Every structure is written in C-alpha cells, then in structure tokens.
Amino acid sequence: MVNKINLEKQTYEVPNSRKPGQTGIYRNGQRPELLETFSPKVKTVYDIFTHGYHTSKDRPCLGRRSVNAAGQFGPYVWETYREVNQHILNFGSGLMNLINHTLNDPRTRGIPIGMWAVNRPEWFITDMACASQSLFTVALYDTLGPDAVEYVVNHSELEIVVCSGDHIADLLKIREKLPKLRAIISLDSFDDGAKVTPGSVSKGAIIKAWAEEKNVLLTDMATLELNGKKNRRSINLPQPDDLACLMYTSGTTGNPKGAMLTHRNFVSAVAGSYYNLDGNVNDVSISFLPLAHIFGKVTDTLAIAYGSRIGYFAGDMNTLVEDIQELKPTFMAAVPRLLNRVYAKIAASTINAPGLVGSLARRGVAAKLENLANQKGFTHPVWDRLLFNKVKQALGGNMRVMVTGSAPIGKDIMQFLRIALCCDIREGYGATETTAATACHYEGEYQAGHLGAPFPSNEVMLVDVPEMNYLSTDPQPRGEICVRGPNVFKGYFKEEEKTREAIDEEGWFHTGDIGVINERGCLVIIDRKKNIFKLAQGEYIAPEKIENVYAKDSLVAQVFVHGDSLQSSLVAIVVPDPETLPAFVAAKSPKLAKSKLSYEELCKSPEVAQLVLAQLTSVGKKAGLHGFELAKAIYLSSEQFTMDNDLLTPTFKVKRPQAKKFFEVQIDALYEAINNQPEKAKL
C-alpha cells in the first residue's frame, strides 16, 4: 500500500500497539508495510549491483579524476556497468583462487576480507566481488591508527587485507602483532613504470622482499584479476541472512564494536532509501564520505541500485569542492560539518556582504524563505535569475537532492542552504546498527529541526526514561528511540552481552537517543540517554544537547562541553570558526580590531574569550537552556578537533574521555577561575 505524501501526518501508528511504558509503534505514513527489498529479484548486496547493471549496462558506472603527467587533476574518466561487472567477476574469481589454491584454504564462503583505503572505484569492486563469492568485508578506518587497526584485524580474525599501496608498510610494521595475517592485496601496482637505474632496486622489489621476510604473501589487484579472467569461477551467492560486512563502530570510548550486518540488512536499508529519494539513471553521485562508515557505503550502494553513476573524490577533503564543480553531481550525501562550511562561504558573499550586494541578497533570501514556509518550494522565478542561479554553482549547479546525517544540523542553516542552493535538502537519522537508514525527510519537506518519518524498512517506538522524566504519556510522547525491522543488525561480533544490551527480546534496537513525535508525526531528537552526568547540586546534564545548541552559531566551528559531579557548573572548549571570529571581534571590540591580531592570537586573548562566552550564553538562553546548562567559562582553542589528534571519531563525534584528557590543564584552569570568583559573579 502506498499513500499520498501528507507532510502534516507523516507517520502511521499501528493500531492497538500501545503498551504501558511505551508509545505505539510508528511506521512510514506513505508506505506502512515493512519493506525488505525494492525488487523480488534483489536479495543480496550483489543482486543490487546486478539490478543496476541490467538497468544501465553501457552507461557510466564508476568514475575518477584523470591526472596528467604533471600530477594535475583533469576531467572525470568513467567505466561502464559492463566493464565494472567484468572487474567484479574477474577479481572475485582471482580472490577465490588465491584462497583455495595459493593459501590452501578449503573454505568457499564466510571468509572475512579486510579493506583499507580511501574511497575509490576499487573499493566498490572489491566489495561486490566479495559479495558475489559469499565472502564478507571488514572495513579498516583510514584514520584509526595502528592500535585500532591491530585490534580490528585480530578481533575479526582477518587473514587477507586488500589495501591501497600506502598501507602495505603500515601492516608490515605491525606484522608480529597480527598472527593470522597471511596475505596483502594491493589496490595499486608496486611500481609506477619508471625505469630502474642499473645497480639499484625498485621500490616494488623492496616491499615484496620485506613482505616475504615477514612471511606475508604480497600481490596486487591487477594480478588477481588477470588470474581470475584465465581461471573463472562460478558466482557463489550468499543467503540473505549471511554476513555482508563487519563494520566496526567508531565508539567514543574503548575498543570499537564489530556490528554484524547481513545482506538482508543492506537490501532493506537500500530499499527504504530507494523509494524515499526517488533517484534515476541520470543521477550523478559524489563519493567522499568514508566507505568504512555505514552512511557512505549505503549511499554508494543506493546510487548503483538506481543504475546511476558514482564519481569518487580525488582523496583530499581540501579539494572536495573542486571535485564537485568538475563532476556536477545531482545527488550528494553530506554531514553538517561540511554544510556549515558551505553555508559560511555562501553567507559571506551574500547576506553578510557589504553594501548593495548584501542588501539585495538579504531581500532575496527573505523572499525565498517565505516561499519555502508557504510550501512553494526552494526555487523562485525572479530571485533565482537575479542571484541564486549563480550561488548554486558552488556545488556544480545540477544538485537535485542532498541528504545530511551523522549529526544534527542547525534549522537556519538547513533552510538557508535549501533556498540558496535551489535544491531539496533532507535530514536523515540512522546508525551503524540500523544500516544507516532509520528516518528521513519526505520529498517537499519545508520545515527543519526534525528527522521526518521512519523509512519504510523499519518501525519506531519510544520507551519511557523515567530517570530523565521522558514519558510516553507526555502531551507529545517522549522516550528512548527504539528501532525494529529487517535493516536492524544481527548483533556485535563476539560480544553477546553488548548485543543483549542493544537488542531486546522483541528485536528492538535501543538507540540511546531520546526522541519525541511532534504534531506533524515527525521524529525529533531532543536528548541523549548516554553521556549524561550529574553536577554537584544534582542536575542531570546532557552535554551533546548543549553542544548542538552552541554549534548552531556560525562563530563556533567545534565545541566540547565538560562537567562532573564534583563541580557545580559547566565549562567548554571552543574552536572558533577562523573566518567568522575576526569579523565578530571587529564588531564587538574596535580596540581589539585595530591591533590586527592573528587567529591564533585572538584565541589566546582573555577579552575575546569573554566576548565569545557572552555570545554563547545569549545563544543558549534563546534556545531555552537552563542556567545550569550554560557554560560558565570557556577556553578558545585554535587547534581543530581531528581524527589525527584522537579527538574525533571517523563520524566527527567528539571523543569525550580523550578530549577531557587532552584539555585537562585548560579545564582545571577554567574551574580554578570559576571557583575563585566572588559568589555573586557565579550566579
């Protein structure tokens, strides 16, 4: 059953599903039946590719930037679905020949294959080759670091790792700590074709000798493809409930957990997205979100399901916008961190510009926002011709729809980007454990600040959290968001206790997020069950909620809110936006502006810290934060939180214990300053 989209009633409550301590069960209002697939013939991840292949045989499939002799990037070059299909069949066959003959392993299915590389066509080919032979992949995060890589390789019992050439040495360096590792397959050839000077040894020969010394078989993808072409194996399809991959969640504490995701999980998640996003063979998607993370992997798989094309970024986030402008995508999955940067750049040249340009842009934005609020869409016949047709070129000019996820995005930023980029931008919600797809905006959504309705692949309910005073009996039902459906994972690998904590006896995955169903039937996240703590006077604090409020201000690039039960107030570490901070200081303190301090010097200034604190306090009060939820002192850091300094997970969440330790000296100094203030000043 497919209902017409009703944006004022987005969810369907299953009749007679309410029980004490929980809400009723909510499903997608347009498609209330739970979907397992988008086609009767599609039951596995490999089937998704064959569906796209039969739709678009000789159309472009995978593309990458061309590179000239000087190392400069040029236009995208493409391989068709037919060509990619041959790569998959050949590499899958070569991989099985390696396992059964070279390594003398008699197994023909259920073998883990490690993947370690940035997004590139070979990643997709490897993934599908494994699926075609009933093997499953284990993603190694490109920025996990040697300790976590060692843990994942050993925990998942990897014997074979497929990786880019730059990671061969990383694996060989820790070979003694990886007792099961038997083979490394390089995605790159070992030599670039350059002539070797007589009497010298090529780099390829050196690394091969090193691998041999470490008792590791080292080969490359091209060699295995050639072998597979000569010795072709039959397709050996998995069952829907077989593992498709082990995806290790980037936890903020402790070792990562390996989420067991099956083919049924992936197919149902893609099916839910397939109907929600309504793509077609003419769509062009850019792949840059890490394929070791579920959001990026499902997005790319979805593009293939439509028979559309995927262009991979050149590997450097600093030049991503150049890749986008060259590719001119129609579809893109993004994260708020990127969209905040896009917003800042567009706002600086439009609504925040001086003189006539700024005045004209502000009128245009106001007119388009009013249009959007009146459900007249994100385009405008006059203002787009005058202004926004140029603005949307920032993302290539052809963008049809964008999906943002992994963290909340500010309402104002979402609405501004919708009308500035003249495209449909939707916010989604998911987790590794729900194969990325839990809820998302419908087409035509004109409001922001919510997560739309459940995908057709799962259902949602809210369970009481009495210790935080969130109840299903509230005027608008509130509680912990629980998800059930064919997209919910099988459990954590070798972690039965943690699996039981996450999935209850009725199959509900408990997310730890606190949600509410609003008057339009939309899911809204309002709090987090985990990461809560008490201050000295007993108030519960959810730091992520406060961080989300502060982060909506364009002055804030990153923020970490800290407190504990021994202190009566909160402090925060703030990384100001380098482009916004100087203008903010100039507006608030002409004296400081005249001193022409650098960004780093501004961050060190106590006066600037007080100005920023006053701004965040104002933002917090406007957002309805209680007095005890406002940071009473802040430290301005000019150093970004990154994965390299171990302050961010690969999904851009702050690692709280690590951040506490990293800024321990600054946090102690902030509390000392607070505690030395006169009592009146603390109030």
pLDDT of residue 665: 94
Given the candidates 3.40.50.720, 3.40.50.1970, 3.90.650.10, 3.40.50.980, the CATH classification of the domain at 81-270 is 3.40.50.980
Domains of the chain: which residue ranges? 11-33+335-528, 81-270, 533-682
Q: What is the CATH number of domain 11-33+335-528?
A: 2.30.38.10
- The stretch 202-231 carries a mean pLDDT of 93
Report how far Cα 254 is from the mean position of its chain's Cα atoms: 20
pLDDT of residue 615: 94
Q: Token pair for residue 618?
A: 């104002």
Q: Any idea which residue has 């990325």 for tokens? A: 436
Long-range contacts from 374-380, C-beta under 8 angstroms, 24+ separation? 374/446, 375/7, 375/444, 375/446, 377/444, 378/418, 378/419, 378/422, 378/423, 378/424, 379/422, 380/419
Q: Any idea which residue has 């995908």 for tokens? A: 455
Q: Is the predicted pLDDT of residue 533 greater than 90, yes or no?
A: no
pLDDT of residue 288: 94
pLDDT, tens digit (0-9, with 9 covering 90-100), for 430-471: 999 999 999 999 999 999 999 999 999 999 999 999 877 899
Q: Is the predicted pLDDT of residue 608 greater than 70, yes or no?
A: yes
Contacts of 516 (CB under 8 A, 6+ apart): 462, 474, 476, 477, 478, 523, 524, 526
pLDDT, tens digit (0-9, with 9 covering 90-100), for 190-214: 765 555 556 656 788 889 999 999 9
- The stretch 216-245 carries a mean pLDDT of 96
- The stretch 226-239 carries a mean pLDDT of 96
> Is the separation of the CB atoms in 654 and 547 below 8 Å?
yes
| C-alpha distances out from residue 541 to 146, 181, 653, Å | 34, 45, 18
pLDDT of residue 220: 95
pLDDT of residue 48: 98
Q: Is the predicted pLDDT of residue 528 greater than 80, yes or no?
A: no
Q: Is the predicted pLDDT of residue 683 greater than 60, yes or no?
A: no
Task: Using a pLDDT cut of 70, give the percent of the chain over it.
Answer: 95
| C-alpha distances out from residue 340 to 285, 334, 335, 408, Å | 20, 10, 9, 11
pLDDT of residue 679: 46
Of 212 and 643, more confident: 212
Per DSSP, the three-state class of 267 is helix
pLDDT, tens digit (0-9, with 9 covering 90-100), for 99-118: 999 999 999 999 999 999 99
Element (H, E) at 372: helix 355-373
346, with CB counted inside 10 A (0-12, 13-18, 19+), is buried
Ramachandran angles phi, psi of 558, nearest 5°: -150, 155
Across the chain, mean pLDDT equals 91
Ramachandran angles phi, psi of 63, nearest 5°: -135, 155
pLDDT, tens digit (0-9, with 9 covering 90-100), for 430-441: 999 999 999 999
Q: Which of 33-37, 393-397, 678-682 has the lowest mean pLDDT?
A: 678-682
- The stretch 505-534 carries a mean pLDDT of 88
Q: Is the predicted pLDDT of residue 38 greater than 50, yes or no?
A: yes
- Predicted TM-score (pTM) above 0.85: no
Q: Is the predicted pLDDT of residue 125 greater than 80, yes or no?
A: yes
Q: Which of 129-133, 561-565, 661-665 has the lowest mean pLDDT?
A: 561-565
Q: Is the predicted pLDDT of residue 253 greater than 80, yes or no?
A: no
pLDDT of residue 653: 78
Ramachandran angles phi, psi of 258, nearest 5°: -90, 105
Q: Is the predicted pLDDT of residue 682 greater than 50, yes or no?
A: no
Q: What is the CATH number of domain 533-682?
A: 3.30.300.30
* Reported confidence tier of residue 381, pLDDT bands at 50, 70, 90: very high
Q: In residues, how long is the chain?
A: 683
Q: Is the predicted pLDDT of residue 530 greater than 90, yes or no?
A: no
pLDDT, tens digit (0-9, with 9 covering 90-100), for 551-589: 888 899 999 999 877 788 999 999 999 988 998 998 888
- The stretch 223-239 carries a mean pLDDT of 96
* Reported confidence tier of residue 680, pLDDT bands at 50, 70, 90: very low
50 Ramachandran zone, left/alpha/beta (phi>0; psi -120 to 50):
alpha
